[in-house]
Structure 1
Amino acid sequence: MATVIYKHTQHSFMEKRCKKAVRLTTLLVLLAAGTAHAEENSPDTAWKNYTTEEITVSGKKGDILQQVTGKESQVLNPSQMSVYKAINLIPSLSQQSVDPYGLADIVNYHESFRFRGVEATAGGVPATTVNVEGLPVTGRPGGGATIYDLENISDIDIYTGVMPAYAGLGLADVGGKIDMKIRRPEERFGVQLKQSIGSNDFSRTYLRIDSGRLAGSTKGFISFSETAADKWKGEGDAERKNLMAGITSEFSDNIKLETFLTWSKGDIHTYKPFTYTEIGDLDRAYETDYGTDAGSYDYYGWNRNEFEDWMFMANLEIKTGERSKINIKPYYWSDKGYYLETISTPNGQRIRRWDIDHDLKGVLGEYKTRVGDVDLDLGYIYHTQKRPGPPTSWKNYTVTASGDLKFAGWNILSNSSSHELHTPFIDAVWHAGDYQLEAGLKYVCYTLPSIITYTTTGIGEDVSYDDALALDPAIDTEASALDTKSFSRLFPNLTLTRFLGDNVSIHASYGESYVTHVDIYPYYISQRKQFHDKGVTFQDLWDKRRMEISKNTEIGMRFTGSNWSIEPTVYYSRHENKQAVLYDADIDACYPINNADAEGYGIELEAEYKPLDNLKCYGSFSWNRFAFTQDIYSEKESLIDVKGEQVPDAPEFLAKAMVSWKIGDFTISPVMRYSSTRYGDVLHNEKIDGTTLFDLDLTWSKAMLGFKQVDCSLSLMNIFDEHYVSMISTSDYKTLKTSYQPGAPFTVMATVALHY
């Protein structure tokens, strides 16, 4: 089967004008409809107390934010496609963005996101930081991280550092975990329609229909969204379509079945990354992107990705008593597509096509009960996930003068092996007077896949991945790890909380978490000659892979008054086998090493204040230190001086604030976010200045007869058009060096939402 390379063609001027006119017309029609209903109805309508379905942000570091934002959570994420933007005001969470709408916020195939300085999915970890309904049902690389419309999410739980045994299930939970809960079908029939337009020809249409309770006890919903936007610089665009459906049925008072299905397809042109020298001229970086010459490696059409995803999950709940129940949750996710990108090789630039066709599946079983004053949660999860990562198929191409791609050989041909995880766990919560004790234990048995590299001599472009393996190519032993590699360990968690009256509580926690990095493989393949010349095989490097363990401790308090709350936290974490990407002069290669210890410590402060019934204020501050506690030795025992240096891309100080001022039917919400200095390398040779960004949201909401609610909002992001560096990739497969992206510029977005 021939490999198809898609060359993007630009939309005609008239086509774009027509599309823009249709979007604007739709927005005006929705606005006019809402206004007409408002004029013909009095304020004392039966629907006046209705509030739209909004995300509730909760969890260890989200309780205060929940009270402040309520339905204004959309202020932080107007496009409703990025969970990371929705929680970005919480302390110690650092999220960077090159795309104002969250469509193209990917750095080295992962999200640019950190908990307390820890980048949870760095190092080629084939997982995301987000679970859904407690299930690790999305993966990386590929298109899995943004396949959910947040209108279909009711709750977001955030865990940082210490987390219960039942939370953070999956291939990694170091740093923290985000868990999203799906918004269930409504009891009554309803329709939600939203239309958004914005800068750079942005358009998003979202429609959800709830059936209400049907015959018996069955309810369902179905939603669809379509999103498109041009890049804010250069050529190219992004398109995304999404479909989700859910059905819940109660077969008796004791048996309930819930099923959910999601389909998503994205086609995205990426932004051009820059070296440290290039990003030093920020004004130029804001104007420079991939070009329009198809005969150049710098052509925007050679830098894109396209993925189609399917997700299915179910929850069978069986009540076995007044205080006990069994939940069985099977799940499945598939992801198919490709990355096309310009890369640097020892022989010059090439265009690489990374074909991805993988899936994951598993089942979670839980038994919850109450024994005396103790709530028990016993469970077991089985999870298997096909590669990539690390990669299984890379093809390289050269660019001809006529603007075509010419096959230049296979870069990687490897077996389609799988990660496998078995995790039994138990969590118990004991209540005794003013005390609450939570203790848990989970046993993680994680098996890394075998990595078999095949020689590709004589295998041409017109051979698919499956057909190439069917040719029974010879094994390249030097570049292979023929056996699987397993890790197994117990991970405890313990939290003691003391309630001092109704307004004060204090807690102390300890817990351990884990992650395993697999990105050493593409680094070895891309620098094969250097390793070969020094007699270093891939098996040598693979055998030295270790599971990174984080041991976390924190003490926190919570004070509440009649119109205020404040929550300070002090934490400390110790990381064993921490990974860093370093240059090894003995081998003359840059690659990840995980043979060092690191520590993190800091202070977090979260507060809210409501001086008036119509005025709410929220603020958070965090000081996060995360650094190696020793110098690092390379594989050839050369010493690299990194002790005490803050890890790359981790700001030491974060400060964030939001005010929501309601004046009649209008709400004015300014937002401020400050991030301090970061570094692009562990030796601190590449310094990135801190930045302060301001956003503003203006929303008009009114309940009215015929419509339960009409919401009209205007969102202004980066209102002072600040030029700054956003995403930093210190583990870049394309250049094997650190790369940088400028941040999203001033952006305007308008939305009308009708709820019926």
Structure 2
Amino acid sequence: MKKTSLIALLALLSATAKAEEEPTLLALNVWTGPEITVSGKKGDLLNKIAGKESEVLNPSQMSVYKIINMMPSVSQQSVDPYGLADTVNYHEAFRFRGVEATAGGVPATTANVEGLPVTGRPGGGATIYDLENMENVAVYSGVMPANVGLGIADVGGKIDMEIKRPESEFGVAFKQSIGSHNFSRTYLRVDTGDLGSGLKAFVSGSTSYAEKWKGYGASNRNNLMFGLTEQFSDKVKLEAFATWSKGNIHPYRALSYAQIQDLDSAYDTDYSNDPTAYDYYGYNKNEFEDWMVMANLEIKTGEKSKLNVKPYYWSDKGYYMETITLPNGSPNIRRWDIDHDLKGILAEYTTTVGNVDLDFGYLYHTQKRPGPPNSWKNYTLSGNTLVFSKWAILSNDSSHELHEPFIEAKYRVGDWTLEGGVKYVNYALPSILTYTTTAGDVSYDEAMESATLVPFKSAESTKTFSRLFPDARLTRMIGNNTSLHLAYGESYVTHVDIYPYYISQAALNTVIPFEELWDKRAMEISRNVELGMKITGNTWSISPTIYYSKHSNKQAVLYDTDLDATYPMNSADATGYGFELEGEYKPSSKLKCYGSFSWNRFSFDQAIYSDATGSLIDVKGMQVPDAPEFMAKGLVSYTVGDVTISPVVRYMSSRYGDVQHTQKIDGTTLFDLDLTWSRPIAGLRNVDCSLSFINLFDTKYVSMISASDYKTLKTSYQPGAPFTVVASVAIHY
């Protein structure tokens, strides 16, 4: 879309705006939900602006990470302005307080839905959900209650999305968006209203498409969702939801540190359109189809008690195809076929005994590999034809298994509130059996029919971790406007990416039995403490927090001098600490302001081995890669008649792409702007016309950094999305 036509549209919207009702920032009448409430772990400041912010920063409405990136200590990086192709090393570029919660080798995301871990990596991930269908997004970082953050990992933090239930009255929501780089998105939701006997339902669908802003290729995603609720009686309710999603993605080419030094060139460098070249864009793509179903049976067993039973299932099928560099420096094309699913059930009982609120629960969860990967096929090129080379990985079809009972309690007395609980994590890693085969370019099942087990490269027994994870929180109200809290909690993660490192390096897989390394896997444990305050005035509120964390068994990619090989081990300790500040100011119904600031330090506690020199390097106290030390963010929303003007600013300090701080990435400041005209028209509940400018001044900067990428065993970089404009019309009937 040309800038001139967009400016003309802006002028038209401004000229036609008429004064009538004054929408508040808390309820902008944005029909997407009608707005998504984003609630922090300590307060609800961001929910005042998140309804509109979710569209300003996330036009595709499919990246939950873009919604929350205004919160303090949240570092979310992006190469795609629409969030359609935002992955690095098979996961989102995202950090809580400097901690990379979804690093490569963690077969989970930070996002749960309705408290259930129905997203995963590698594969379709958390982008299979249209965020218009979400009512609330709760964000937890550091200390978390035992009854949230359930699943395979919760280190750093957790996001929980709550589905918007069917409306009590018939309604239709429609939205059409267009934008730069041939972006288009259509969304439609129909709510049936009450059909009698307490039955309500909705169905929604969306289709999104965008060409890459540089290079060749495009990405599109189609989503469908269905939900129903049935109120059988005052005591029994059943809810069920189903989601289908299919995405075809052309990612952006990862660049080296040398390439990213010339930003002008980096903004033009991408995959080629030459099918005889290894870097052809057609050899670098991924496609996934996802299904998700979940239910919630709620039974009220008393005036203050109820039982919830939530079964769930998620299926993810597809592939990654990408250009790789072998350890010997030769290029190959790799196809990683993925066919995995997860399923489980959460049973939760809540009740009140005296002044104590109790929450008992039990999660059973099983999740098939990958990760780690169970098959890789490598290809070479002959002219413009892919020629099968070998099965780089062929292993068994096995599963992760998790048992997670928990209890959380809350007790109030006077101005004091004491909360605490514990969850027991019993987590079994999958067995891994490695095979060789003489089969050629055939399916996984066909290859396994002629496969031969390689015991030396296998771990026949599972590896199980069992541990209690406590949490405690003490809150004191001081008067009517101030609260003070002190909290402690522990979290966990287990990395499984040692397997592809092992298989890819002969120095490892011909010398050390894999089971020996698999048995040395350790669960990374984070112990977190924080002290926070919230002060509220008539037109303002402010929430400062200080925190401290200790990580044991932290994974680090180590270089073994005796083997001349690189592999990750859980043998490091790390320390994190920092300061966060959130503030809100609303002097009138027309003007609302939100801001956040964070200072985050996260570093190793000792020296580690370098993968470059083979010698011990002193990195104690040095900030980990891709973790900005300072971030500041702000949003102002000003309403004139029916027009709301919302500028956004985000500052991020410098980062490093390596642990030795030799690859420095400069800090950057980005500006966005949203203009929305909103009012009811001709019997419609509401009509919104929006114009959003992302990276308003077309700033060139480095966004995503992959410092643990086992495709090349080197750090890779991506430039940030350029100036982008999105126009949309939304109708809610």
TM-score by length of 2: 0.95
Task: Report the counterpart of residue 538 of structure 2 in structure 1.
Answer: 562
Task: Report the counterpart of residue 452 of structure 2 in structure 1.
Answer: 474
Name structure 2 gaps, 5 residues minimum. none
Task: Report the counterpart of residue 99 of structure 1 in structure 2.
Answer: 80
Task: Report the counterpart of residue 269 of structure 1 in structure 2.
Answer: 250
Task: Report the counterpart of residue 290 of structure 1 in structure 2.
Answer: 271
Which of 711, 719, 722 is residue 688 of structure 2 equivalent to? 711
Deviation at 1:299, TM superposition (A): 0.3
Which of 724, 730, 740 is residue 701 of structure 2 equivalent to? 724
Cα separation, 2, equivalents of 1:467 and 1:355: 14
Tell me if the contact between 2:22 and 2:641 (Cα under 8 Å) persists in the aligned partners. Answer: no
Task: Report the counterpart of residue 398 of structure 1 in structure 2.
Answer: 380
Tell me if the contact between 1:392 and 1:413 (Cα under 8 Å) persists in the aligned partners. Answer: yes
Task: Report the counterpart of residue 499 of structure 2 in structure 1.
Answer: 521
Q: How do residues 63-82 of structure 1 correspond to structure 2 at under 5 angstroms?
A: 63-82=44-63
Task: Report the counterpart of residue 624 of structure 1 in structure 2.
Answer: 600
Which of 547, 550, 560 is residue 571 of structure 1 equivalent to? 547
The verdict on how the C-alpha distance between 1:680 and 1:633 changes in structure 2, with shifts beyond 3 A counting, is closer
Does residue 673 of structure 1 match 2:655?
Answer: no
- Give SS of 2:502's match: helix
Cα separation, 2, equivalents of 1:77 and 1:563: 28
Tell me if the contact between 1:678 and 1:690 (Cα under 8 Å) persists in the aligned partners. Answer: yes
Cα separation, 2, equivalents of 1:520 and 1:318: 44
Which of 623, 628, 632 is residue 646 of structure 1 equivalent to? 623
The one-letter code matched in structure 2 to 1:85 is K
Deviation at 1:254, TM superposition (A): 0.4
The verdict on how the C-alpha distance between 1:468 and 1:320 changes in structure 2, with shifts beyond 3 A counting, is same
- Give SS of 1:704's match: coil
The verdict on how the C-alpha distance between 1:530 and 1:223 changes in structure 2, with shifts beyond 3 A counting, is same
Cα separation, 2, equivalents of 1:418 and 1:129: 20
Cα separation, 1, equivalents of 2:43 and 2:380: 49
Deviation at 1:51, TM superposition (A): 6.1
Does residue 143 of structure 1 match 2:124?
Answer: yes
Q: Structure 1, residues 140-173: CA drift from partner, whole Å, max 9, x if none?
A: 1001220000000000000000011010000000
The verdict on how the C-alpha distance between 1:524 and 1:739 changes in structure 2, with shifts beyond 3 A counting, is same
Does residue 684 of structure 1 match 2:661?
Answer: yes
The one-letter code matched in structure 1 to 2:631 is L
Cα separation, 1, equivalents of 2:239 and 2:461: 39
Deviation at 1:655, TM superposition (A): 0.6
- Give SS of 1:206's match: strand
The one-letter code matched in structure 2 to 1:639 is L
Q: Structure 1, residues 40-77: CA drift from partner, whole Å, max 9, x if none?
A: x98799xx996631100113155111124455542232
Which of 399, 419, 435 is residue 418 of structure 1 equivalent to? 399
Cα separation, 1, equivalents of 2:302 and 2:595: 44
Cα separation, 2, equivalents of 1:61 and 1:464: 50
Root-mean-square deviation (CA, aligned residues, Å) is: 2.4
Deviation at 1:280, TM superposition (A): 1.1
Cα separation, 1, equivalents of 2:126 and 2:366: 18
Task: Report the counterpart of residue 487 of structure 2 in structure 1.
Answer: 509
- Give SS of 2:132's match: helix
The one-letter code matched in structure 2 to 1:521 is Y
Q: Which stretch shows the higher mean deviation, 435-444 or 630-639?
A: 630-639
Tell me if the contact between 1:223 and 1:243 (Cα under 8 Å) persists in the aligned partners. Answer: yes
Which of 513, 516, 520 is residue 537 of structure 1 equivalent to? 513
Cα separation, 2, equivalents of 1:137 and 1:117: 25
Q: Structure 1, residues 215-254: CA drift from partner, whole Å, max 9, x if none?
A: 2110000000000010000110001000001000011110
Tell me if the contact between 1:586 and 1:638 (Cα under 8 Å) persists in the aligned partners. Answer: no
Cα separation, 2, equivalents of 1:656 and 1:50: 24
Which of 720, 726, 732 is residue 749 of structure 1 equivalent to? 726
Task: Report the counterpart of residue 492 of structure 1 in structure 2.
Answer: 470
Does residue 586 of structure 1 match 2:562?
Answer: yes
Does residue 700 of structure 1 match 2:682?
Answer: no
- Give SS of 2:503's match: helix
Task: Report the counterpart of residue 191 of structure 2 in structure 1.
Answer: 210
Task: Report the counterpart of residue 444 of structure 2 in structure 1.
Answer: 465
Which of 345, 366, 382 is residue 384 of structure 1 equivalent to? 366
Deviation at 1:399, TM superposition (A): 1.2
Deviation at 1:577, TM superposition (A): 0.5
Task: Report the counterpart of residue 307 of structure 1 in structure 2.
Answer: 288
Tell me if the contact between 1:61 and 1:90 (Cα under 8 Å) persists in the aligned partners. Answer: no
- Give SS of 2:445's match: helix
Task: Report the counterpart of residue 340 of structure 1 in structure 2.
Answer: 321
Q: Structure 1, residues 349-385: CA drift from partner, whole Å, max 9, x if none?
A: 0000000000000000000000010100000000000
Tell me if the contact between 1:61 and 1:160 (Cα under 8 Å) persists in the aligned partners. Answer: no
Aligned length, in residue pairs: 721
Tell me if the contact between 1:255 and 1:318 (Cα under 8 Å) persists in the aligned partners. Answer: yes
Q: Which stretch shows the higher mean deviation, 676-685 or 64-73?
A: 64-73
The one-letter code matched in structure 2 to 1:249 is E
The verdict on how the C-alpha distance between 1:250 and 1:158 changes in structure 2, with shifts beyond 3 A counting, is same
Which of 202, 211, 226 is residue 221 of structure 1 equivalent to? 202
- Give SS of 2:500's match: helix
The verdict on how the C-alpha distance between 1:486 and 1:532 changes in structure 2, with shifts beyond 3 A counting, is closer
Tell me if the contact between 1:326 and 1:366 (Cα under 8 Å) persists in the aligned partners. Answer: yes
Which of 161, 176, 189 is residue 180 of structure 1 equivalent to? 161
- Percent sequence identity is 68
TM-score by length of 1: 0.92
Tell me if the contact between 1:659 and 1:671 (Cα under 8 Å) persists in the aligned partners. Answer: yes
- Give SS of 1:507's match: strand
Tell me if the contact between 2:20 and 2:642 (Cα under 8 Å) persists in the aligned partners. Answer: no
Name structure 1 gaps, 5 residues minimum. 1-19
Tell me if the contact between 1:50 and 1:708 (Cα under 8 Å) persists in the aligned partners. Answer: no
Tell me if the contact between 2:50 and 2:67 (Cα under 8 Å) persists in the aligned partners. Answer: no
Cα separation, 1, equivalents of 2:429 and 2:303: 41
The one-letter code matched in structure 2 to 1:546 is A
Deviation at 1:612, TM superposition (A): 2.9
Cα separation, 1, equivalents of 2:53 and 2:565: 49
The one-letter code matched in structure 2 to 1:235 is Y
The verdict on how the C-alpha distance between 1:474 and 1:361 changes in structure 2, with shifts beyond 3 A counting, is same
Cα separation, 1, equivalents of 2:624 and 2:20: 59
Task: Report the counterpart of residue 13 of structure 1 in structure 2.
Answer: none
Cα separation, 1, equivalents of 2:76 and 2:493: 20
The one-letter code matched in structure 2 to 1:564 is W
Cα separation, 2, equivalents of 1:419 and 1:638: 36
Which of 346, 353, 358 is residue 364 of structure 1 equivalent to? 346
